[in-house]
Amino acid sequence: MRKDKDKIIELRKTGKSYKEIEQVMGVPRSTLSAWFKGQAWSSDLVVSLRNKVRSDHIVRLQSLDKIRGLHLDRLYKQAEFEAVQEFDQIKNHPLFISALMIYWGEGDKASPYRCSIANTEPAMIKIFLLFLENICCMPRTKIKSWILLYPDLNEEECKKYWIEKSGLEYSDFNKSIVIQGRHKTNRVRYGVCNLGVSSAYLKRKILIWIDLLAKDIVKEEIENKKMRV
């Protein structure tokens, strides 16, 4: 056992993040996570830190509307800076990790402002919806969905399915899009659900979070291998 572990515990209890403790004490964040995992007081602290991030994020999104169109380059650099700071606070949250993984595989990469996914699995849509609401603090009125349909599918039946399975509401849907496809009928029974928001600011953050998560996973694996040697 490290002789300075008591000091590390005290730092954590005062509200220091894993990154801050690592910088001061030189203990890898993966080790800190293992130490404090399952500790009730540490879990409460994670919630407290996450709530602070969420509160600050709401203020920033509100102020963004007032200065849209002014100094956008500087604004996007600020988004990138915030993404790095926020990542260390919420990177261990299951919803955050799962939503980023979904976006990494299924999300829109081409548009500079569209933060959306498309999938036939209701669970993925539900997770991304919870992510937008609870992690990104997006107002429900800004979150929109639409269904990609084939001619043989009933739009009303499909909407009822997605509402029941994914937590969406009728007010969340924009007009569905019907495509012919290669065949007159299609095996996708309830269409492809698309869900997202329009925000270049958030898009910058999501892409940075994904990059940081990938690097963090690789770094932790390397550190674990060193510990096993």
Determine the pLDDT at residue 82.
86
Q: Which residues contact 123 (CB under 8 A, 6 or more apart)?
A: 165, 166
In 3-state terms, the chain is what percent helix, strand and coil (to 5)?
65, 10, 25
- pLDDT tens, position by position, 90-112: 888 899 999 999 999 999 999 98
Determine the pLDDT at residue 188.
83
CA 224 to CA 229: how far, in whole Å? Answer: 9
CA 105 to CA 45: how far, in whole Å? Answer: 31
Determine the pLDDT at residue 28.
78
Determine the pLDDT at residue 85.
86
Rounded mean pLDDT of 6-14?
Answer: 72
What confidence tier does 226 reach under pLDDT thresholds 50, 70, 90? low
Determine the pLDDT at residue 13.
65
Determine the pLDDT at residue 58.
46
- pLDDT tens, position by position, 111-148: 988 999 999 999 999 999 999 998 888 889 999 999 99
Asked whether the predicted pLDDT for residue 215 surpasses 60, the reply is yes
pTM, two decimals, is 0.69
- pLDDT tens, position by position, 24-75: 777 777 777 776 666 654 555 555 555 555 555 543 554 554 555 556 677 7
Q: What percentage of the chain has pLDDT greater than the value 70?
A: 73
Assigned token pair, 188: 């996708």
Determine the pLDDT at residue 76.
76
- pLDDT tens, position by position, 175-197: 999 987 666 555 688 999 999 99
Find where tokens 């606070």 sit: 89
Neighbours of 200 (CB within 10 A): 17
Domain 102-200 bears CATH identifier 3.30.1330: yes
- Residue 81 or residue 59, greater confidence: 81
What are the residue boundaries of the structural domains of the chain, listed by start?
A: 102-200
Nearest residue to 139 via CA among 220, 31, 58: 58
